[in-house]
Amino acid sequence: LIPVAVAFIVGLHFLPLAKLFRMPTLYITGTTMVIIAVASLSISDANIRNLSICLGIGIFIWLRTFMAIRQIISSLKTMSAP
């Protein structure tokens, strides 16, 4: 249950950060991580649960990273356009 607890706590940490940094997308990140953590509790086999939580959170964080990079590039293009 340690990976589930870690994912849950890390997800919760994103919620106040969203308000602090005025980044609404962090609400989505935090909420999704908490949902993935809670949903993984429905898996009874510990090894499969740990694998699914690690893969689920890992894939989700990578997707959010690529989305953030895309937003930054888009913002830079708009700023440099005459």
pLDDT at 81 over 70: no
Confidence of residue 4 (pLDDT cuts 50, 70, 90): very high
pLDDT at 46 over 80: yes
Amino acid letter, residue 3: P
Burial (CB count <10 Å: 0-12, 13-18, 19+), residue 81: exposed
Whole-number pLDDT of residue 1: 87
Average pLDDT on 19-45 reads 95
Tell me the percentage of the chain whose pLDDT exceeds 90.
Answer: 88
pLDDT at 34 over 80: yes
